[in-house]
Structure 1
Amino acid sequence: MTPPKILLASSSIYRRQLLQKLGLAFDWASPDIDENHQPEESPAQLVYRLAEAKAHRLASTYPNHLIIGSDQVATLDNCILGKPHTHINAVAQLRSFRQREVTFLTGLCLFNATTNRTQTSVESYKVRFRNLSDEQIESYLQREQPYDCAGSFKSEGLGICLFEQLAGDDPNTLIGLPLIALTRMLATEGVDPLSQPANFFHVSN
């Protein structure tokens, strides 16, 4: 029996690298959606909505696929962390994180474009920041320049050095694709990565 086709609705190289861990064949494409935060929408509601919107957006183009949508925000005191855009703003953000806890919320959706079944969840992962010196903050920003990244850091890059402690069910959630939850969703659709032949792996765009 031929396994269902899988599509990752994302242009993120980091999400592609994570999905590759499962050894499944998949294509990827970037969805074009409005990601603006709606009034009165909580961070969890935002990532839930956007994960579904990304998966559903590509359904007409990929009608025979299982489509994976994912969206992530970082929050401090339940407020969404914005992108700094400038060095000065990034320094201020990272200074405010010293010895504080930032929560990553990742919305995950698996949409079966053939049956219209949608599975969606929100996974959380918490990081506690080190008591970073101004010199450490400056060194990090000069090396990675995460000015277009919410919270002024890239958790999938050198940003891991900013953290003192991590807490959550799945460390992949921190990077943006909760593989444990995704494996459960795929199983509901009859896809078990452990049951696929060793030569099944393939990625295309």
Structure 2
Amino acid sequence: MPSTVARRTPALVLVLLAVPLLAGSQCAFFFSSGTSSGERDKEEQVVVVANGNFGAAPVAGIGYSSGSVSGVTGSNGEFEYEMDQPIQFSIGDIPLGRAVSGKAVITPQDLVPEGASATTAAINIDRLLQSLDADQADDAITIPASVRAKAVRSNDTLASAIEYLDFADDAAFANAASQLVTVLTDDYPFTGVLVDAQSAREAAIKSM
């Protein structure tokens, strides 16, 4: 353990160095913490960040968080994750399944314990994503910032629906998700409805 100084106030300093590793999708970021008076005692931490994509067909606009890394998936579903840290996907305050280990491609079936595309929870995650797609002209899914902003527990209209949304329970999911879709898509140029399970399954298979 490095020595410490009494009444020391650690300051986190990001050393502006991003070193690509052998795999082109990884970067190592070096952090050092020391005192403002310039003592030499420092703690160094290496954070390795890798890239991945969400969805067999791209899903843009969902939030993600992994260790010290967080953001929103890009137009091709791209995200970053901290190596050796789980990654959690979400829409506002709605978690999309469980946190999982990062990898090159993550799909809804990875976010449920059984890990199969036919699993009820995986299909229901697909249903919610497809129902909130703001641009239905192509196979990609786009979740706009307005949806993420409204999908929060502090939104009294949706607090109960967010609380009781259960991807593994068809009945509970349908009740909560229908309300979520109605409110979250109220500014879309079309009337948003909850996609049924069969249609969601067929769309997911088509995108593979």
TM-score scaled by length of structure 1: 0.24
Higher RCO, 1 or 2 (CA under 8 Å, sep at least 6)? 1
Q: Which protein is richer in helix relative to its size?
A: 1
Find the structure with the greater CA-based Rg.
2
